[in-house]
Structure 1
Amino acid sequence: MTRTELTQYLAEFLKVSAFKDYAPNGLQVEGRDDIRTIVTGVTACQALIDEAIRLQADAILVHHGFFWKSEPEVITGMKQRRIKALLTHDINLFGYHLPLDAHPMLGNNATLGRQMGILDAEPVEEIAQGLVWRGKLDLLMAAKDFASLLGEALGRTPLHIGDSDAKIQQLAWCTGGAQDYIDVAANLGVDAFISGEVSERTYHSAIEQGIHYFAAGHHATERYGIEALGRHLAREFGLKHHFVDIINPV
Protein backbone atom coordinates (compact mmCIF):
# COMPACT_ATOMS: atom_id res chain seq x y z
CA MET A 1 0.00 0.00 0.00
CA THR A 2 1.29 3.48 -0.76
CA ARG A 3 1.62 6.35 1.67
CA THR A 4 -0.99 8.32 -0.26
CA GLU A 5 -3.45 5.42 -0.19
CA LEU A 6 -3.06 4.99 3.58
CA THR A 7 -3.41 8.73 4.18
CA GLN A 8 -6.58 8.95 2.13
CA TYR A 9 -8.11 5.80 3.62
CA LEU A 10 -7.58 6.92 7.22
CA ALA A 11 -8.84 10.44 6.51
CA GLU A 12 -12.13 8.96 5.35
CA PHE A 13 -12.32 6.06 7.81
CA LEU A 14 -11.70 8.29 10.85
CA LYS A 15 -13.68 11.25 9.43
CA VAL A 16 -10.75 13.57 10.11
CA SER A 17 -12.35 16.64 8.51
CA ALA A 18 -15.22 16.55 11.04
CA PHE A 19 -12.99 17.52 13.97
CA LYS A 20 -11.54 20.76 15.24
CA ASP A 21 -8.38 19.58 16.98
CA TYR A 22 -5.23 20.73 18.78
CA ALA A 23 -2.79 19.08 16.34
CA PRO A 24 -2.81 17.98 12.70
CA ASN A 25 -4.51 14.64 12.07
CA GLY A 26 -2.99 12.47 9.36
CA LEU A 27 0.52 12.33 7.97
CA GLN A 28 2.82 14.41 10.17
CA VAL A 29 6.29 13.34 9.00
CA GLU A 30 6.77 11.98 5.49
CA GLY A 31 8.81 8.84 4.92
CA ARG A 32 9.03 6.20 2.20
CA ASP A 33 6.17 5.72 -0.24
CA ASP A 34 5.72 1.95 0.05
CA ILE A 35 4.15 0.82 3.33
CA ARG A 36 4.19 -2.84 4.30
CA THR A 37 5.02 -2.84 8.02
CA ILE A 38 3.35 -0.55 10.54
CA VAL A 39 3.94 0.06 14.23
CA THR A 40 1.20 1.47 16.45
CA GLY A 41 1.58 3.04 19.87
CA VAL A 42 -0.05 5.64 22.09
CA THR A 43 2.58 8.39 21.89
CA ALA A 44 5.33 9.22 19.38
CA CYS A 45 8.07 9.17 22.01
CA GLN A 46 11.70 8.31 21.32
CA ALA A 47 11.33 4.80 22.73
CA LEU A 48 8.50 4.02 20.28
CA ILE A 49 10.48 5.44 17.36
CA ASP A 50 13.54 3.41 18.33
CA GLU A 51 11.48 0.22 18.46
CA ALA A 52 9.92 1.01 15.09
CA ILE A 53 13.43 1.39 13.65
CA ARG A 54 14.40 -1.99 15.11
CA LEU A 55 11.29 -3.58 13.61
CA GLN A 56 12.08 -1.97 10.23
CA ALA A 57 8.69 -0.29 10.12
CA ASP A 58 7.62 1.82 7.16
CA ALA A 59 5.11 3.83 9.21
CA ILE A 60 4.22 4.62 12.82
CA LEU A 61 0.62 5.38 13.78
CA VAL A 62 -0.02 7.08 17.11
CA HIS A 63 -2.73 8.82 19.09
CA HIS A 64 -0.39 11.50 20.44
CA GLY A 65 1.77 12.81 17.62
CA PHE A 66 3.63 16.07 17.06
CA PHE A 67 2.98 19.78 16.45
CA TRP A 68 0.52 20.60 19.23
CA LYS A 69 -0.78 24.16 19.31
CA SER A 70 0.62 24.80 22.78
CA GLU A 71 4.19 23.69 22.07
CA PRO A 72 7.13 25.73 20.69
CA GLU A 73 7.26 25.82 16.89
CA VAL A 74 11.03 25.43 16.64
CA ILE A 75 12.49 21.97 15.97
CA THR A 76 15.19 21.69 18.62
CA GLY A 77 16.16 19.37 21.44
CA MET A 78 13.87 16.41 22.03
CA LYS A 79 11.65 17.20 19.03
CA GLN A 80 14.68 17.48 16.73
CA ARG A 81 16.03 14.11 17.85
CA ARG A 82 12.69 12.40 17.28
CA ILE A 83 12.12 13.89 13.85
CA LYS A 84 15.74 13.31 12.82
CA ALA A 85 15.39 9.60 13.67
CA LEU A 86 12.24 9.35 11.54
CA LEU A 87 13.80 11.16 8.58
CA THR A 88 17.09 9.26 8.81
CA HIS A 89 15.25 5.94 8.61
CA ASP A 90 12.62 7.15 6.11
CA ILE A 91 9.69 6.29 8.43
CA ASN A 92 6.27 7.90 8.06
CA LEU A 93 4.54 9.23 11.18
CA PHE A 94 0.76 9.42 11.28
CA GLY A 95 -1.09 10.96 14.23
CA TYR A 96 -4.82 10.79 15.00
CA HIS A 97 -6.08 12.54 18.12
CA LEU A 98 -9.78 13.38 18.48
CA PRO A 99 -10.81 11.33 15.41
CA LEU A 100 -9.40 8.24 17.14
CA ASP A 101 -11.06 9.11 20.44
CA ALA A 102 -14.44 9.34 18.77
CA HIS A 103 -14.51 6.50 16.23
CA PRO A 104 -17.66 4.43 16.94
CA MET A 105 -16.01 1.02 16.55
CA LEU A 106 -12.23 1.33 16.96
CA GLY A 107 -11.93 4.57 18.94
CA ASN A 108 -10.52 4.98 22.42
CA ASN A 109 -13.92 5.47 24.02
CA ALA A 110 -15.51 2.55 22.17
CA THR A 111 -12.66 0.17 23.01
CA LEU A 112 -12.51 1.33 26.64
CA GLY A 113 -16.22 0.59 26.94
CA ARG A 114 -15.65 -2.95 25.69
CA GLN A 115 -12.62 -3.37 27.94
CA MET A 116 -14.77 -2.45 30.95
CA GLY A 117 -17.64 -4.71 29.88
CA ILE A 118 -20.10 -1.82 29.56
CA LEU A 119 -23.51 -2.65 28.09
CA ASP A 120 -25.18 -0.50 25.42
CA ALA A 121 -22.20 1.87 25.16
CA GLU A 122 -22.84 4.87 22.93
CA PRO A 123 -21.60 8.43 22.44
CA VAL A 124 -23.61 11.38 23.65
CA GLU A 125 -23.83 12.84 20.15
CA GLU A 126 -24.86 16.37 21.02
CA ILE A 127 -21.96 16.98 23.45
CA ALA A 128 -18.25 17.64 22.83
CA GLN A 129 -18.02 16.24 19.30
CA GLY A 130 -19.31 12.87 20.52
CA LEU A 131 -16.34 12.37 22.81
CA VAL A 132 -18.36 11.67 25.98
CA TRP A 133 -19.80 8.14 26.05
CA ARG A 134 -22.28 6.46 28.36
CA GLY A 135 -23.58 3.01 29.19
CA LYS A 136 -24.42 0.80 32.14
CA LEU A 137 -23.18 -2.12 34.15
CA ASP A 138 -25.15 -5.35 34.00
CA LEU A 139 -26.03 -5.01 37.70
CA LEU A 140 -25.71 -2.51 40.51
CA MET A 141 -22.17 -2.73 41.86
CA ALA A 142 -20.38 -1.27 44.85
CA ALA A 143 -18.01 1.49 43.73
CA LYS A 144 -15.06 -0.31 45.32
CA ASP A 145 -15.87 -3.45 43.32
CA PHE A 146 -16.06 -1.45 40.11
CA ALA A 147 -12.69 0.09 40.96
CA SER A 148 -11.26 -3.42 41.24
CA LEU A 149 -12.87 -4.44 37.94
CA LEU A 150 -11.47 -1.34 36.26
CA GLY A 151 -8.01 -1.98 37.68
CA GLU A 152 -8.01 -5.56 36.40
CA ALA A 153 -9.25 -4.50 32.97
CA LEU A 154 -6.63 -1.78 32.50
CA GLY A 155 -3.73 -3.14 34.53
CA ARG A 156 -3.64 -0.03 36.69
CA THR A 157 -5.30 0.80 40.01
CA PRO A 158 -7.63 3.77 39.49
CA LEU A 159 -8.08 6.70 41.86
CA HIS A 160 -11.68 6.71 43.09
CA ILE A 161 -13.47 9.75 44.49
CA GLY A 162 -16.69 8.91 46.33
CA ASP A 163 -18.17 6.50 48.86
CA SER A 164 -16.54 3.15 48.16
CA ASP A 165 -19.58 1.22 49.44
CA ALA A 166 -22.17 3.13 47.39
CA LYS A 167 -23.83 1.29 44.51
CA ILE A 168 -23.34 2.45 40.92
CA GLN A 169 -24.66 1.30 37.53
CA GLN A 170 -25.08 4.19 35.09
CA LEU A 171 -21.70 5.35 33.77
CA ALA A 172 -20.20 7.99 31.49
CA TRP A 173 -16.60 8.19 30.33
CA CYS A 174 -14.12 10.01 28.14
CA THR A 175 -10.55 8.78 27.81
CA GLY A 176 -7.35 10.73 28.43
CA GLY A 177 -7.21 14.23 29.90
CA ALA A 178 -10.98 14.71 30.04
CA GLN A 179 -11.53 15.20 33.76
CA ASP A 180 -13.40 18.46 33.24
CA TYR A 181 -16.19 16.64 31.43
CA ILE A 182 -17.25 15.51 34.91
CA ASP A 183 -19.70 18.43 34.90
CA VAL A 184 -21.22 17.15 31.64
CA ALA A 185 -21.50 13.68 33.17
CA ALA A 186 -23.20 15.06 36.28
CA ASN A 187 -25.79 16.78 34.08
CA LEU A 188 -26.45 13.45 32.34
CA GLY A 189 -27.58 12.02 35.68
CA VAL A 190 -25.13 9.08 35.70
CA ASP A 191 -23.71 7.55 38.85
CA ALA A 192 -20.04 7.74 37.88
CA PHE A 193 -17.64 9.27 35.38
CA ILE A 194 -14.42 7.61 34.21
CA SER A 195 -11.50 9.36 32.55
CA GLY A 196 -7.73 9.21 32.43
CA GLU A 197 -6.44 12.11 34.49
CA VAL A 198 -7.50 14.00 37.59
CA SER A 199 -7.06 17.62 38.74
CA GLU A 200 -7.35 19.20 42.17
CA ARG A 201 -10.68 20.72 41.17
CA THR A 202 -12.06 17.33 40.14
CA TYR A 203 -12.38 16.25 43.76
CA HIS A 204 -14.67 19.15 44.63
CA SER A 205 -16.74 18.74 41.47
CA ALA A 206 -17.35 15.08 42.27
CA ILE A 207 -18.20 15.61 45.94
CA GLU A 208 -20.44 18.64 45.44
CA GLN A 209 -22.36 17.13 42.51
CA GLY A 210 -22.73 13.69 44.09
CA ILE A 211 -21.03 11.78 41.26
CA HIS A 212 -18.31 9.16 41.57
CA TYR A 213 -15.09 9.82 39.69
CA PHE A 214 -12.53 7.24 38.58
CA ALA A 215 -9.17 8.44 37.24
CA ALA A 216 -7.88 5.37 35.43
CA GLY A 217 -4.75 6.77 33.75
CA HIS A 218 -4.29 8.74 30.54
CA HIS A 219 -2.12 6.08 28.90
CA ALA A 220 -4.12 3.16 30.28
CA THR A 221 -7.44 4.45 28.93
CA GLU A 222 -6.01 5.24 25.48
CA ARG A 223 -3.91 2.22 24.58
CA TYR A 224 -6.71 0.18 23.00
CA GLY A 225 -7.90 2.39 20.13
CA ILE A 226 -4.60 2.69 18.28
CA GLU A 227 -3.97 -1.05 18.65
CA ALA A 228 -7.43 -1.79 17.24
CA LEU A 229 -6.76 0.54 14.31
CA GLY A 230 -3.51 -1.26 13.53
CA ARG A 231 -5.22 -4.64 13.60
CA HIS A 232 -7.92 -3.29 11.29
CA LEU A 233 -5.36 -2.07 8.76
CA ALA A 234 -3.50 -5.37 8.89
CA ARG A 235 -6.71 -7.28 8.11
CA GLU A 236 -7.93 -4.94 5.39
CA PHE A 237 -4.66 -4.44 3.51
CA GLY A 238 -2.40 -7.35 4.47
CA LEU A 239 0.04 -5.13 6.35
CA LYS A 240 2.38 -6.46 9.00
CA HIS A 241 1.44 -4.84 12.31
CA HIS A 242 3.26 -4.48 15.63
CA PHE A 243 1.58 -2.81 18.60
CA VAL A 244 4.28 -1.44 20.91
CA ASP A 245 3.09 -0.48 24.39
CA ILE A 246 5.63 1.90 25.90
CA ILE A 247 4.67 1.74 29.58
CA ASN A 248 3.57 5.03 31.11
CA PRO A 249 2.16 5.17 34.67
CA VAL A 250 0.48 8.56 34.15
Structure 2
Amino acid sequence: MSIQRQELLARFDALLQPEGFKDYGPNGLQVEGRPEVARIVSGVTASRALIDAAIEVQADAIFVHHGLFWRGMDARITGWMKQRLQRLLAHDINLFAYHLPLDAHAELGNNAQLGRVLGWHVDQRFGDQSLGFAAPAAYAGAADLAAHVQTVLGRTATLVVPAQARPIRRVAWCTGGAQGFFESAIAAGADAFVTGEISEPQAHLVRETGVAFIAAGHHATERYGAQAVAAHVAQQLGLEHQFIDIDNPA
Protein backbone atom coordinates (compact mmCIF):
# COMPACT_ATOMS: atom_id res chain seq x y z
CA MET A 1 0.00 0.00 0.00
CA SER A 2 1.20 3.54 -0.71
CA ILE A 3 0.09 7.07 0.12
CA GLN A 4 0.63 10.47 -1.43
CA ARG A 5 3.58 12.41 -0.03
CA GLN A 6 1.41 15.40 0.89
CA GLU A 7 -1.03 13.22 2.83
CA LEU A 8 1.86 11.69 4.76
CA LEU A 9 3.18 15.18 5.52
CA ALA A 10 -0.28 16.21 6.72
CA ARG A 11 -0.37 13.21 9.07
CA PHE A 12 3.02 14.06 10.57
CA ASP A 13 2.06 17.72 10.95
CA ALA A 14 -1.28 16.90 12.55
CA LEU A 15 0.43 14.64 15.06
CA LEU A 16 3.42 16.85 15.93
CA GLN A 17 1.92 20.33 15.36
CA PRO A 18 5.17 22.08 14.36
CA GLU A 19 3.46 25.45 13.97
CA GLY A 20 3.34 25.69 17.77
CA PHE A 21 7.13 25.74 18.23
CA LYS A 22 9.96 28.23 17.92
CA ASP A 23 12.67 26.03 16.45
CA TYR A 24 16.19 26.12 15.06
CA GLY A 25 15.28 24.97 11.55
CA PRO A 26 12.41 23.93 9.28
CA ASN A 27 10.12 21.14 10.46
CA GLY A 28 8.30 18.90 8.00
CA LEU A 29 9.31 18.00 4.45
CA GLN A 30 12.91 19.15 3.95
CA VAL A 31 13.69 17.37 0.67
CA GLU A 32 11.00 16.45 -1.85
CA GLY A 33 11.19 12.99 -3.38
CA ARG A 34 8.78 10.74 -5.22
CA PRO A 35 5.06 11.59 -4.87
CA GLU A 36 4.00 8.19 -3.50
CA VAL A 37 5.37 6.61 -0.34
CA ALA A 38 5.08 2.96 0.63
CA ARG A 39 8.20 2.38 2.74
CA ILE A 40 9.55 4.67 5.49
CA VAL A 41 12.93 4.46 7.20
CA SER A 42 13.32 6.30 10.50
CA GLY A 43 16.53 7.32 12.24
CA VAL A 44 18.00 9.96 14.50
CA THR A 45 20.02 12.04 12.03
CA ALA A 46 19.94 12.50 8.26
CA SER A 47 23.56 11.39 7.95
CA ARG A 48 25.06 9.97 4.78
CA ALA A 49 25.16 6.55 6.46
CA LEU A 50 21.42 6.65 7.18
CA ILE A 51 20.64 7.86 3.67
CA ASP A 52 22.74 5.06 2.17
CA ALA A 53 21.00 2.51 4.40
CA ALA A 54 17.61 3.84 3.28
CA ILE A 55 18.68 3.55 -0.36
CA GLU A 56 19.76 -0.04 0.30
CA VAL A 57 16.29 -1.02 1.56
CA GLN A 58 14.57 0.99 -1.21
CA ALA A 59 12.85 3.46 1.09
CA ASP A 60 10.57 6.13 -0.33
CA ALA A 61 10.94 8.42 2.68
CA ILE A 62 13.23 9.03 5.64
CA PHE A 63 11.90 10.39 8.94
CA VAL A 64 14.45 11.90 11.35
CA HIS A 65 14.91 14.15 14.36
CA HIS A 66 18.00 15.96 13.04
CA GLY A 67 17.45 17.09 9.47
CA LEU A 68 19.78 18.82 7.02
CA PHE A 69 18.97 22.49 7.48
CA TRP A 70 19.52 24.69 10.55
CA ARG A 71 19.18 28.38 11.23
CA GLY A 72 22.40 30.28 10.60
CA MET A 73 24.19 27.47 8.76
CA ASP A 74 26.28 27.94 5.62
CA ALA A 75 23.83 27.87 2.70
CA ARG A 76 26.32 26.58 0.13
CA ILE A 77 25.71 23.08 -1.24
CA THR A 78 29.24 21.72 -1.00
CA GLY A 79 31.11 18.89 0.70
CA TRP A 80 29.05 16.72 3.04
CA MET A 81 25.84 18.62 2.27
CA LYS A 82 26.25 18.02 -1.46
CA GLN A 83 26.89 14.33 -0.84
CA ARG A 84 23.76 13.88 1.29
CA LEU A 85 21.49 15.88 -1.02
CA GLN A 86 22.93 14.21 -4.10
CA ARG A 87 21.95 10.79 -2.78
CA LEU A 88 18.46 11.86 -1.75
CA LEU A 89 17.73 13.51 -5.09
CA ALA A 90 19.30 10.77 -7.21
CA HIS A 91 17.11 8.15 -5.53
CA ASP A 92 14.02 10.39 -5.29
CA ILE A 93 13.73 9.93 -1.49
CA ASN A 94 11.63 12.26 0.65
CA LEU A 95 13.23 13.60 3.82
CA PHE A 96 10.96 14.52 6.74
CA ALA A 97 12.54 16.10 9.83
CA TYR A 98 10.98 17.27 13.10
CA HIS A 99 13.14 18.73 15.83
CA LEU A 100 11.50 20.29 18.91
CA PRO A 101 8.01 18.99 18.01
CA LEU A 102 9.45 15.48 18.15
CA ASP A 103 11.05 16.17 21.54
CA ALA A 104 7.82 17.49 22.98
CA HIS A 105 5.08 15.05 21.93
CA ALA A 106 3.40 13.81 25.10
CA GLU A 107 3.29 10.12 24.11
CA LEU A 108 5.54 9.46 21.11
CA GLY A 109 8.21 12.12 21.46
CA ASN A 110 11.83 11.71 22.49
CA ASN A 111 11.24 12.72 26.10
CA ALA A 112 8.10 10.65 26.53
CA GLN A 113 9.72 7.61 24.97
CA LEU A 114 12.91 7.95 27.02
CA GLY A 115 10.74 8.07 30.13
CA ARG A 116 8.90 4.98 28.94
CA VAL A 117 12.02 2.88 28.38
CA LEU A 118 13.46 4.00 31.71
CA GLY A 119 10.22 3.24 33.57
CA TRP A 120 9.40 6.80 34.66
CA HIS A 121 5.80 8.06 34.79
CA VAL A 122 5.63 11.74 33.90
CA ASP A 123 3.67 14.02 36.19
CA GLN A 124 5.16 17.41 35.27
CA ARG A 125 6.44 19.38 32.29
CA PHE A 126 8.89 22.25 32.74
CA GLY A 127 11.28 24.59 30.95
CA ASP A 128 11.15 26.49 27.67
CA GLN A 129 8.21 25.33 25.51
CA SER A 130 7.51 22.66 28.18
CA LEU A 131 10.20 20.42 26.71
CA GLY A 132 11.44 19.11 30.07
CA PHE A 133 9.76 16.13 31.76
CA ALA A 134 9.79 15.10 35.44
CA ALA A 135 8.60 12.12 37.45
CA PRO A 136 8.72 10.52 40.91
CA ALA A 137 11.68 8.18 41.42
CA ALA A 138 13.10 5.81 44.01
CA TYR A 139 16.88 5.38 43.79
CA ALA A 140 19.28 5.14 46.71
CA GLY A 141 21.50 7.72 45.06
CA ALA A 142 22.72 9.19 41.79
CA ALA A 143 25.07 6.26 41.15
CA ASP A 144 22.14 3.83 41.24
CA LEU A 145 20.18 6.04 38.87
CA ALA A 146 23.17 6.30 36.51
CA ALA A 147 23.63 2.52 36.55
CA HIS A 148 19.97 2.07 35.57
CA VAL A 149 20.26 4.59 32.74
CA GLN A 150 23.47 3.01 31.46
CA THR A 151 22.01 -0.49 31.50
CA VAL A 152 18.87 0.50 29.61
CA LEU A 153 20.58 2.73 27.04
CA GLY A 154 23.67 0.58 26.62
CA ARG A 155 26.04 3.50 26.92
CA THR A 156 28.41 4.73 29.63
CA ALA A 157 27.11 7.96 31.10
CA THR A 158 28.95 10.95 32.54
CA LEU A 159 27.82 11.33 36.15
CA VAL A 160 28.47 14.47 38.19
CA VAL A 161 27.53 13.97 41.83
CA PRO A 162 27.11 16.63 44.52
CA ALA A 163 29.46 16.55 47.51
CA GLN A 164 26.66 15.40 49.81
CA ALA A 165 24.82 12.54 48.11
CA ARG A 166 21.10 12.19 48.68
CA PRO A 167 18.39 9.73 47.67
CA ILE A 168 16.78 10.39 44.30
CA ARG A 169 13.07 10.90 44.87
CA ARG A 170 12.42 13.00 41.80
CA VAL A 171 14.09 12.80 38.40
CA ALA A 172 13.88 15.32 35.54
CA TRP A 173 15.06 14.84 31.99
CA CYS A 174 15.26 16.39 28.55
CA THR A 175 16.91 14.51 25.71
CA GLY A 176 19.80 15.57 23.49
CA GLY A 177 21.69 18.81 24.05
CA ALA A 178 19.46 20.11 26.82
CA GLN A 179 22.10 20.89 29.45
CA GLY A 180 20.70 24.42 29.55
CA PHE A 181 17.54 23.01 31.14
CA PHE A 182 19.39 22.08 34.34
CA GLU A 183 18.35 25.18 36.28
CA SER A 184 14.71 24.66 35.24
CA ALA A 185 14.97 21.06 36.43
CA ILE A 186 16.30 22.26 39.78
CA ALA A 187 13.38 24.71 40.05
CA ALA A 188 11.03 21.80 39.29
CA GLY A 189 12.26 20.01 42.40
CA ALA A 190 14.52 17.41 40.79
CA ASP A 191 17.11 15.47 42.76
CA ALA A 192 18.79 14.48 39.49
CA PHE A 193 18.68 15.62 35.89
CA VAL A 194 19.27 13.38 32.87
CA THR A 195 20.09 14.69 29.40
CA GLY A 196 22.47 13.91 26.57
CA GLU A 197 25.37 16.28 27.13
CA ILE A 198 27.06 18.37 29.80
CA SER A 199 28.83 21.72 29.50
CA GLU A 200 31.32 23.33 31.86
CA PRO A 201 28.87 25.42 33.94
CA GLN A 202 26.72 22.48 35.00
CA ALA A 203 29.48 20.85 37.07
CA HIS A 204 29.62 23.94 39.27
CA LEU A 205 25.84 24.01 39.64
CA VAL A 206 25.86 20.38 40.75
CA ARG A 207 28.24 21.25 43.60
CA GLU A 208 26.34 24.38 44.56
CA THR A 209 22.77 23.03 44.37
CA GLY A 210 23.17 19.38 45.41
CA VAL A 211 21.31 18.13 42.31
CA ALA A 212 23.06 15.36 40.35
CA PHE A 213 23.63 15.57 36.58
CA ILE A 214 23.75 12.58 34.22
CA ALA A 215 24.88 13.06 30.61
CA ALA A 216 23.77 9.83 28.94
CA GLY A 217 24.58 10.69 25.31
CA HIS A 218 22.86 12.92 22.77
CA HIS A 219 22.25 10.10 20.32
CA ALA A 220 21.52 7.51 23.00
CA THR A 221 18.75 9.59 24.57
CA GLU A 222 17.15 10.44 21.23
CA ARG A 223 16.87 7.03 19.59
CA TYR A 224 13.24 6.50 20.50
CA GLY A 225 11.03 9.35 19.29
CA ALA A 226 11.58 9.15 15.52
CA GLN A 227 10.96 5.43 15.42
CA ALA A 228 7.86 5.72 17.63
CA VAL A 229 6.27 8.44 15.48
CA ALA A 230 7.15 6.81 12.16
CA ALA A 231 5.93 3.41 13.34
CA HIS A 232 2.67 4.93 14.62
CA VAL A 233 1.90 6.79 11.38
CA ALA A 234 2.99 3.86 9.19
CA GLN A 235 0.71 1.50 11.11
CA GLN A 236 -2.23 3.89 10.71
CA LEU A 237 -1.67 4.20 6.96
CA GLY A 238 -0.67 0.62 6.19
CA LEU A 239 2.88 1.55 5.19
CA GLU A 240 6.12 -0.36 5.75
CA HIS A 241 8.46 1.04 8.39
CA GLN A 242 12.00 0.22 9.50
CA PHE A 243 14.10 1.97 12.15
CA ILE A 244 17.81 2.06 11.32
CA ASP A 245 20.14 3.01 14.16
CA ILE A 246 23.41 4.51 12.95
CA ASP A 247 25.73 4.22 15.95
CA ASN A 248 27.08 7.49 17.32
CA PRO A 249 29.32 7.80 20.40
CA ALA A 250 28.23 11.39 21.09
Shorter chain as denominator, the TM-score bin is: over 0.9
The residue type paired with residue 12 of structure 1 is: A
Write the mapping of 1:203-218 to structure 2, written as runs, cut at 5 A.
Answer: 203-218=203-218
> Counterpart in 1 of 2:32?
30
SS at the partner of 2:29? strand
Aligned residues: 247
Normalising to structure 2: TM-score of the pair? 0.96
Write the mapping of 1:174-213 to structure 2, written as runs, cut at 5 A.
Answer: 174-213=174-213
Q: 1:9 offset after TM fit, Å? A: 1.3
After TM superposition, the structure 1 stretch with the greater mean CA deviation from structure 2, 150-159 or 46-55, is 150-159
The residue type paired with residue 85 of structure 2 is: I
The residue type paired with residue 199 of structure 1 is: S
Write the mapping of 1:113-192 to structure 2, written as runs, cut at 5 A.
Answer: 113-124=115-126, 127-137=127-137, 139-163=138-162, 166-192=166-192
> Counterpart in 2 of 1:93?
95
Runs of 4+ in 1 over 6 A off after TM superposition: none
Q: Is the CA contact 1:113–1:121 (under 8 Å) kept in the aligned structure 2?
A: no
Q: Is the CA contact 1:147–1:158 (under 8 Å) kept in the aligned structure 2?
A: yes
Structure 1, unaligned stretches of length 5 or more?
none
Report percent identity of matched pairs. Answer: 49
The residue type paired with residue 68 of structure 1 is: W
Q: Is the CA contact 1:110–1:121 (under 8 Å) kept in the aligned structure 2?
A: no
After TM superposition, the structure 1 stretch with the greater mean CA deviation from structure 2, 44-53 or 155-164, is 155-164
Query: How far apart, CA to CA, are the structure 2 residues paired with 1:102 and 1:33?
Result: 29
Query: How far apart, CA to CA, are the structure 2 residues paired with 1:94 and 1:132?
Result: 24
The residue type paired with residue 153 of structure 2 is: L
Query: How far apart, CA to CA, are the structure 2 residues paired with 1:69 and 1:13?
Result: 24
After TM superposition, the structure 1 stretch with the greater mean CA deviation from structure 2, 80-89 or 152-161, is 152-161
Q: 1:121 offset after TM fit, Å? A: 4.2
Q: Is the CA contact 1:234–1:240 (under 8 Å) kept in the aligned structure 2?
A: yes
Normalising to structure 1: TM-score of the pair? 0.96
SS at the partner of 2:70? coil
Query: How far apart, CA to CA, are the structure 1 residues paired with 2:61 and 2:139?
Result: 44
The residue type paired with residue 213 of structure 2 is: Y
Query: How far apart, CA to CA, are the structure 2 residues paired with 1:122 and 1:156?
Result: 26
Deviations 1:33-81 (A, max 9, x none): 0000000000000000000000000000000001101320111110011
The residue type paired with residue 212 of structure 2 is: H
CA RMSD of aligned residues (A): 1.2
Structure 2, unaligned stretches of length 5 or more?
none
Quick one: structure 1 residues 140 and 51, their matched pair in 2 at CA, closer, same or farther if it must change by over 3 Å? closer
After TM superposition, the structure 1 stretch with the greater mean CA deviation from structure 2, 112-121 or 235-244, is 112-121
